[in-house]
Structure 1
Amino acid sequence: MNIALRQLRVFVAVAQELSITSAADKLCLSKPAVSMALSELEKQLGQQLFDRHNNRLLINEQGRRLLPLADELLARSQDIEHLFSQQGAVTGKLNIGASDTLGNQVAPFLLRDFRATSGHLEQTLYIANTAQICQRLCEFELDVGLVEGRVHHGELHSIPWLGDEMVVACHPQHPLAQLSAPTFADLEQQQWLLREPGSGTREYFLNHLGARLSQWQLAFELNSTSAIINSTAAGLGITCLSRRALSQAEQLKRVSILNLPITLTRDYWLLYHKEKYQSPLLKQFMRFCENWSGE
C-alpha cells in the first residue's frame, strides 16, 4: 500500500467541506482531480470513507477513524518541510478559533505577545460562537480554541485558562441605573438582550442569572457582542456581558454597569481535539497561553 500525502490532503479537505466542489476550491484543484484522489485512496484502503446520499457526502465511521491520523501525518510532513529552514523561530501555520468576546477583546493582545516572544507570524484567527468553534475543532479545521464557557464534549479536551468577571449593564438613563444598590429582585420582568444559542455568554446567563429569576423576557437575540452593546446603549434592554467587553462603552458613558450584591465570575477555556497531533508550534502556543496573564 502506497498512500500519498496528496490523497490524505484531499481526504481531509473533503471531510471538512463535505463537498467535492468546495474541497476542490479549497485545494485549488479540479473536481475530477479531487474525485480521483479520493477514489484512489478508498480503493487502496479497501474501505469507503464517506457515505453517498443524493449527491451528498457524509463522513462515515471509517472516515472518522482516519481523520485524526491523516491530520497528524500532514502536520508532521509540514514539520519536516520546515525542519531545516528554521532560523531560531518555530515555524508552521497555527489555526486558532476564539469565541466572540475572546476573539475581539483578548486574542489580539495574546497574539501580539506571542509573536513578540516567539517570532512566529503565521496565524489565522476564526471568530464565532463556542458551538461553532467546537465543530471546527472536531473537523480538524482548527488547532486550538479559546472559548468563554466550559465545554463537555467527548472528542475535546478543555483546560481552564483566564478568569473573567460578568456584569449586568443597562442604558445610563434606565431606571436600574438610578439604584445605588440594585438586587436580583430588581432584575425581575426586565427585557434582556442576549447572544444566540451556542454562545458561552448566553449559557452563562441561563445558568447563573436566568436560573435565579422567576420572570425575565427576551427582548432581542443577537449574534455579536458589539450588537449587544450597541443595543444596550440604545436603551433596548439590559444585558449580561464580560466586563472586558463593556469596559470601553462604560468609559464613554454609553452604558452603566449595575452594582449587584454578588460578584459573577467565569473561566475562559483552552480547547483542543484529544487526537490532534501537537506539533512543536502548537505545544509552544499552548504553553504560552497557560502562562499568559492577559495584563
Structure 2
Amino acid sequence: MKITLRQLEVFAAVARLENVSRAAAQLNMSQSAASTALLELERHFACPLFDRVGKSLRLNGSGRGLLPQAEDMLARAHEIEGFLAGGRLAPVAVGATLTIGNYLATLVVVDYLQKNPGSRVDLAVCNTQQVVDRLRRFELDVGLIEGEASDSDLIFEPWIDDELVVFCAPSHALAKAGEAAPAVLAEQKWIVREPGSGTRALFDRAIRSVGVDADVCLQLEHTEAIKRAVESGLGVGCLSRLSLREALRRGSLVEIKTPALALRRRFQFVRQRRRHLSTATRMFIDECRRLTGDAADTSQLTLPFIP
C-alpha cells in the first residue's frame, strides 16, 4: 500500500486545524515530521490537497473529497486497535448542547464508562450551531442537540421530547398571577440564551408567533447564570423544564404558564452521513436511549439530583 495511516492521520488533523504546527502538537509529533508526511502524500500522487494561504492550509476540492474517506478509515483503524488490544472500544467524540450536556449527557457518560472500563469519551458542551459545525468538519462521532438543524451531509434521529418553561423569581409580580398572556409577556424584561442555541431559536420563534417583540435585556451562554439572574429579580427567563426541575421544586423559581406559546421541542441524535458508525458510537447512542427509557418527554424522567 502506498498510503500510510499516519499520513492520513496528519492530513485529517491539518484539515481540521488548518495549520501544520497545531496538527503536529495534537498528534504529539514534530512539525517537520507532520509536514513531511503531508508532502509525501501529496507528491506521491501529484495531487495537492490544500490551498496554502499564508500560514493556513485550507482544503481544496481534492482534499474535501478525501477527508470523509480518510476519517472513515481512521475510525475503522481505531476499532481494529481496540479489538487487538482485547476488545477495548474506540474513543467516542460527543458534542452536546448545553441543556443535554449538563443534565443528561454526563449521566450517560458515567454509565457508559462504568460498563466499558478502559474506554474513553470526549464530551464537548456547546450550542446547537457549534455542534453541527463540528460534525460537518468530522470532529465529532455524534451530536446530541436540542435545536432544529438541517443538512444533507448529516443524519438526524429523534430521541426524546422536551419543553421550555417561562419562569420568574417568587418576588416577581407574575409569580402570583401564575399565567401570562402575550400582551403581558411583551411588557417583561427577558434574560435568555445566546443566538445559535436551540433554546434561543425556539424562544424567538414562539414569542414572535404571538406578535411579541421580546425586550431582551441580557443574553447568557449558561443556564445556571440565567437562573441566578432571574432569581435576583432582573427579569423573566425561558429554559428547559429539565434544567429548572430542582429550582421549581425548591420554590427558588416559579413557573409562569404561557398557553399561547408553542414551546415543545425534540432532542435529537446527529451524525455525519459520511463518517463510519463505530461500535462504540452505536453503544453510546444505545446508552442514551436506555437512560430515557419509555419516558414520553423529559418531565417524566427519573434522574439523580441535579442542583
Show the counterpart of 1:280.
Answer: 279
CA contact (8 A) 2:183 2:212 kept: no
Show the counterpart of 1:176.
Answer: 174
CA contact (8 A) 2:226 2:237 kept: yes
CA contact (8 A) 2:166 2:256 kept: yes
Alignment map for 1:99-114 (pairs within 5 Å): 99-114=97-112
Going from structure 1 to structure 2, the CA distance change for 1:140 and 1:11 (only over 3 Å counts) comes to same
Going from structure 1 to structure 2, the CA distance change for 1:120 and 1:288 (only over 3 Å counts) comes to farther
Alignment map for 1:105-254 (pairs within 5 Å): 105-119=103-117, 121-254=119-252
CA contact (8 A) 2:108 2:287 kept: no
CA contact (8 A) 2:207 2:213 kept: no
Show the counterpart of 1:26.
Answer: 26
Cα root mean square deviation, aligned: 1.9
Going from structure 1 to structure 2, the CA distance change for 1:120 and 1:155 (only over 3 Å counts) comes to farther
Show the counterpart of 2:50.
Answer: 50
Q: Secondary structure at the match of 1:106?
A: helix
Tell me the CA shift for residue 174 of structure 1: 1.2
CA contact (8 A) 1:150 1:158 kept: no
Show the counterpart of 1:257.
Answer: 255
Show the counterpart of 2:35.
Answer: 35
Going from structure 1 to structure 2, the CA distance change for 1:276 and 1:196 (only over 3 Å counts) comes to same
Show the counterpart of 2:265.
Answer: 266
Sequence identity of aligned pairs in percent?
Answer: 36
Give the TM-score taking structure 1 as reference length: 0.93
Aligned equivalents of 2:211 and 2:175: distance in 1? 19
Q: Secondary structure at the match of 1:162?
A: strand
Tell me the CA shift for residue 255 of structure 1: 1.6
> How many residues of Structure 1 are paired with residues of Structure 2 in the alignment?
293
Show the counterpart of 1:96.
Answer: 94
Aligned equivalents of 1:98 and 1:112: distance in 2? 15
Tell me the CA shift for residue 116 of structure 1: 4.4
Structure 1 unpaired stretches of 5+: none
CA contact (8 A) 1:189 1:215 kept: no
Aligned equivalents of 1:118 and 1:53: distance in 2? 44
For residues 219-248 of structure 1, the C-alpha deviation after alignment (integer angstroms, 9 at most, x for no partner) is 111111121111111222211100111122
Going from structure 1 to structure 2, the CA distance change for 1:24 and 1:116 (only over 3 Å counts) comes to closer
Aligned equivalents of 1:254 and 1:158: distance in 2? 36
Tell me the CA shift for residue 283 of structure 1: 2.1
Tell me the CA shift for residue 52 of structure 1: 1.2
Show the counterpart of 2:295.
Answer: none
Structure 2 unpaired stretches of 5+: 293-300, 303-307
For residues 162-181 of structure 1, the C-alpha deviation after alignment (integer angstroms, 9 at most, x for no partner) is 11121001121111112143
Moved more, 252-261 or 189-198: 252-261
For residues 35-59 of structure 1, the C-alpha deviation after alignment (integer angstroms, 9 at most, x for no partner) is 1111111112322111112222211
